Structure 1
């Protein structure tokens, strides 16, 4: 039962479904601040019922941080680099982070574009 068709469920949708405020939803879902146990259960049930999934991008923007680590490899078709990427991903997962993988296909322009994208800069000064 997603609200309004196919759009992603929001904290406001969970609040409406649980009959609480959005700030109460936030406290209940994050386990920070006070939310009575019955309210917490009601919020969790409403979130599950409407298919609420936290938006990691929104959280990253709000907190000014990210759990993602960019990894740029030159040739994923090469078993060495493919195995390296698998090892990096496993280590990052154990550390509570996730990998954003880019393959530059051994092309210098692709490498520069990927590095700029990962650094969030369009400036030629970000990379050699």
Structure 2
């Protein structure tokens, strides 16, 4: 089974994503902040991480570097309510698979998740 981690401090949005992704047959883990999310990454073989950009304890764009150091084969999709081109460019440079805007790109999350999984499994 593929393991997906959702890191987002918006509880309703996070729970919605959990439900949608579980319907696809994935094992879904969740965290409300970067610290909790990183503990999951250290203890579980995570295939894809869906991470909010603005979190109470840090910035998802910067967090990508830390994830890639600990789990280089995990793919990261960053999500934000307020997309900035400069953040997207930096996120990709840091190793993110993609950077999407919440609400505008919600219908793209599941197809994007499958694309990230395809890339992830090229390394195994």
Mark yes or no: TM-score above 0.5. no
TM-score (norm 1): 0.28
* Structure of greater relative contact order (alpha carbons < 8 Å, 6+ residues apart): 2
Structure (1 or 2) with the greater strand fraction: 2
Please tell me whether Structure 1 or Structure 2 has the larger radius of gyration of its CA atoms: 1
